Chains A and B, each alone.
Chain A
């Protein structure tokens, strides 16, 4: 069974902390950051994404066009999407914000599918840990 862990995101400073999900030493969010940094042309958008996360951490209201609740009906743990240009970041909200993964606009459907699957696996692993 996969091992899930949360690692604090030090780059975000605010009242509510941000963590990123790590599955067996693999972090989808870090992979996304590395990919965007490697490509180079969307680096400014990436900095804007960090700025948006900073405002979320500091409990500031944001327009829906930048930070959107994408939780399906009857789902207890809230799901959110951060949007800037071509970039998308998917996160869930528990006691803190948990960054699951990021991607580009053209892979949105696939990324959301992967995001929800990781979320369910993470929540299941937490549940089995408790019992």
Chain B
């Protein structure tokens, strides 16, 4: 089965993101400027077929072309680099936050129910609180 980690580490994920973002930017530009695909092709200095390909979310030309197209619609395409493991970890932390909160409640209840073992339970609460701070 495909995992979230595998998805985030796949070139396909980031490629779809880049292709569709260019589609979104060009569509927004056409709406803003109230121009047709043909007029956009003239503006970008490319053929109608080329524009249609991009608007189908299939841009796969050179990096230079991507930069040229972006600048033609008055946008600078800035590319940011993030460690992929950090992205995976950030998502995992967001998802586990509610789980940790639930666990804290359960341990607190166990601690008040059995005073004999309260020391051990308090340790658990303490360690969970530590994790919670890291998450926050």
Contact = CB atoms under 8 A, between A and B. Distances in A.
A16 interface: no
Contact of A55 (B4, B20, B58): B20
27 contacts: A11-B2, A11-B3, A11-B4, A33-B1, A34-B1, A37-B2, A44-B10, A46-B2, A47-B10, A47-B13, A48-B12, A48-B16, A51-B10, A51-B15, A51-B16, A52-B16, A52-B20, A54-B7, A54-B13, A55-B20, A60-B20, A62-B23, A63-B20, A63-B57, A64-B56, A65-B56, A66-B57
Contacts of A62: 20, 23, 57
Interface string B82-94: 0000000001000
B24 interface: yes
A47 B95 CA distance: 22
Contacts of A60: 20, 24
Interface in A35-63: 37, 44-48, 50-52, 54-55, 60-63
B123 interface: no
Interface residues of B, number: 22
Which of A10, A45, A47, A54 counts the most B-chain CB atoms under 10 A from its CB?
A47
B42 interface: no
